[in-house]
Structure 1
């Protein structure tokens, strides 16, 4: 049983809320903190404000048992888990303003001995930055017990779960815990042991921060290879899906699948934190990011070329907006960017959007009069150019073979599945 009995989770998004729920169903008294009143209200009645399998049951159960509640105000607690966004600025450096805001909410409640964990994916040094800010706000405290001051125990424990499998992988995946001190790391390990069945690996905070960035950069580099292959294959008249399938029969080759780009809160963002930390040394990581960031433009140009083959009144169907299949997460989604780009360039063309996991268009597409959200049958039926951007089950199960007289652009290889 953990010595920590109360935890405040700052940020009730795609990582914070599952973490709060899994702690609560394992006996910890949890208060979730979020700036969005609608999110707070939803959680307090046991509801989930976004799509994630199995999360609703955990939240409803924890709330009904009185182990989980939500508020907009940071409370006093034995431990704090900071799970707020860390987007990047225009120059690709990290925006730590959300972390700073969390620190300002936490600081007044500290007495010494509390554990503060940064879960937000962060550049090297962000955990130290959080600690320095807490000590600046509370000069009566320290991070290491120096000068006889009471100690704040500070650690970094990056999330490493896959959207759509979060509630499973929170429990089964190994975790990395990096402490500013060994005592902080040990206490963080004890807390995560409440629910984590995977191995919990201890390191220092900066190495833990870098480990998460490296994991996602590894994926980004490999996706960039696949995306570049798809562009090369199109140019020389090769089916990239067959090419990759054949190459992957080599016992030491495992090429990933290409797509319309790379999205999500991790892979599309985290490599830039490494580039910002060592700009002259991270040449391959930067190039991979540039390849993946440019892929949506290539897809857009394919759509424009196909559209030019049809009459001026031809409509376009865009199938999928999420950054991956079968979820509602639109963060950094290349599909949203492609659709917005097309809408801006084609003000007279109707764009019929299919995204079965959302009920309204994202902000990036609001204001375009000729962009509409509809079901797949209506969208495909009335469109001359059909663009597959996300391999949702609803998209994969559609009978594309029955279509005639339409241009199909498949960025996910659905049409090539044997």
Structure 2
């Protein structure tokens, strides 16, 4: 049965979700406080980058199945998909969820379903949403139904994973869970796993914390390998041939709206018990400083004074335009704190977000002492080293194992890799 749906929050998760429901026959009204974003959506323009989103948005708007505005409308279902970031003190910022929930209360009617999709600390439905929803005057669980069904998608593959991934459905009671399952069955092909709301909240945070701890392990291994002359990328690949081993990849840090944020929810929930989780966060948060110092050490060893760094990549992962919690931004700040001259470029981020950012790669690399690759965009993997004739020094520091080392070394570059202290070109000339 097709529903009318109001989606509150039209960002990296809310907009694709709204479009997906609209493309599957539901009448959807999207809501966002960002007036510019709303106007762009109304005009079938994108304020975020996601593969396949443009054509799906065009279809939804042209068919009259998707509208957008700054205030909610009456509907059968309300989906909350707003940010749930952390504050400077690493505690959860729940005002977005609270305000979004409060905004739909005047539009609620008996029989409505409210779904929280945002990734949140356990007990958010109970402690943040419920106090707002009871103001509707309806009995929760019999007249008004509530659930938590967290998104489990990766930027760049959102539409594929919305369909194929299993879905966790956490209802405040069985009726709420069943209604939510029936709604998502309109496009989800993965299995639906019904549970209670608090368990669903914990499951999503656990998933991202597992990945954060695994990456912290990889980053510690990279720092150890750097000191003993082992290429950690090769070592991890070899270790992962073991059928019960799956070590993630190292890098200049961890970013994004989930992995860099969600573990702090557990630390805040029980700091005395979340010892390993806290240590992993500290390890990953320390990688930007490690990366900047590694760069400084390489340039100092070569006798390069007053270097200019061309930082390539500001998004938190390859082939997206999302800078939320991006470690690349912190690496740039660490360069600045070391009095290095920096120019940063990211081809996926079309408007400058940093004072040192440029839309021109040529400007970024002009007279640079070193290229430092911070994001593994495909465009960086495919770069032709012959293009970089204006570099002051032919040095590349690759933090993502992104480029062909042999190709760049054959072009005369000294290539350094995070997690490998060996410079192959220099060794080959000895």
The two structures share one fold, judged by TM-score above 0.5: yes
| Alignment equivalent of 1:112, drawn from 94, 110, 113 | 110
Structure 2 contact 134–140 (Cα < 8 Å) conserved = no
User: Comparing 271-280 with 243-252, which one deviates more in the overlay?
Assistant: 243-252
- Identify the match of residue 410 of structure 1 among 398, 403, 417: 398
Give secondary structure in 2 for the equivalent of 1:263.
coil
What SS does structure 2 have at the residue aligned with 1:142? coil
CA contact (8 A) 2:81 2:118 kept: yes
CA contact (8 A) 1:103 1:133 kept: no
Paired position in structure 2 for 1:215: 207
- Report whether the alignment pairs 1:85 with 2:94: no
Q: Identify which range, 237-246 or 211-220, moves more after superposition.
A: 237-246
- Alignment-derived partner of residue 39 in structure 1: 37
- CA–CA distance in 2 between the matches of 1:159 and 1:191? 14
Q: State the Cα distance separating 1:173 from its structure 2 match.
A: 0.8
8 Å Cα contact 2:163/2:189 also seen in 1 = yes
Tell me the distance in 2 between the aligned counterparts of 1:126 and 1:39. Answer: 27
The counterpart of 1:314, out of the listed 307, 310, 332, is: 307
Q: Pick closer, same or farther for the CA change 1:350–1:250 going to 2, 3 Å.
A: same
Deviates more, 1:7-16 or 1:296-305: 296-305
Shift of 1:417: 6.3
Deviations 1:254-282 (A, max 9, x none): 22111100000000001111121222222
Superposed displacement of residue 306, structure 1: 3.1
Higher alpha-carbon deviation: 275-284 or 6-15: 275-284
**Aligned match for 1:335, one of 328, 339, 358:** 328
Gaps of 5+ in 2: 407-430
* Aligned CA distance change for structure 1 residues 23 and 223 (closer, same or farther; 3 Å): same
Q: C-alpha distance in 1, partners of 2:77/2:85?
A: 24
CA distance in 1, matches of 2:103, 2:65: 22
Aligned to 1:148: none
Separation of aligned partners in 1, 2:266 and 2:5: 31
2:288–2:334 CA contact under 8 A, matched in 1: no
Cα contact 1:131–1:143 (8 A) shared by 2: no
Residue of structure 1 in register with 2:70 after alignment: 72
Deviation for aligned residue 1:307: 3.8
Q: Deviations over 1:182-240 (max 9, x none)?
A: 11111111111111111111000000001101111111111111111111111222221
The residue aligned with 2:377 is: 392
| CA displacement, residues 81-128 of structure 1 (integer Å, 9 cap, x when unaligned) | 000000112332211100111122111111221100000001111111
Instruction: State the alpha-carbon separation in 2 of the partners of residues 414 and 105 from structure 1.
Output: 45
**1: CA distance between counterparts of 2:105 and 2:215?**
41
For the residues of structure 2 that align with 1:94 and 1:126, how far apart are their CA atoms?
Answer: 10
The 8 Å contact of residues 296 and 338 in structure 1, kept in 2 or not, is answered as: yes
Aligned partner of 1:142 among 131, 139, 142: 139
* Residue aligned with 2:286, SS: helix
Out of 101-110 and 402-411, give the one that drifted further.
402-411
SS class of match (2:311): strand
Offset of residue 378 of structure 1? 4.5
Check whether the contact 2:102–2:133 (CA below 8 A) recurs between aligned residues. Answer: no
Q: Which moved more, 1:11-20 or 1:398-407?
A: 398-407
Structure 2 partner of 1:235 = 227
- Cα deviation for residue 382 of structure 1 reads 2.4
Per the TM alignment, residue 413 of structure 1 is displaced from its structure 2 partner at its CA by: 1.1
Post-superposition offset of 1:136: 4.3
Is 2:262 the partner of 1:270? Answer: yes
- Which moves more between the two structures, 378-387 or 28-37? 378-387
Q: Distance in 2 between matches of 1:104 and 1:94?
A: 18
Contact kept, 8 Å, 1:174 with 1:200, in 2: the verdict is yes
Tell me how far apart the structure 2 counterparts of residues 15 and 39 of structure 1 sit (CA, whole Å): 14
Aligned residues: 402
State TM-score, norm by structure 2: 0.89
| CA distance in 1 between partners of 2:303 and 2:139 (Å) | 68
Cα distance in 2 for residues equivalent to 1:50 and 1:387: 26
Give deviations 1:3-30, integer Å, cap 9, x for gaps: xx21000000000000000000111110
CA offset at residue 353 of structure 1? 1.2
Preserved CA contact (<8 Å) 1:306 1:407: no
Secondary structure of 2:159's match? helix
Q: For residues 233 and 276 of structure 1, what CA distance do their matches in structure 2 show?
A: 32
Partner of 2:351: 360
Q: Which is worse superposed, 407-416 or 227-236?
A: 407-416
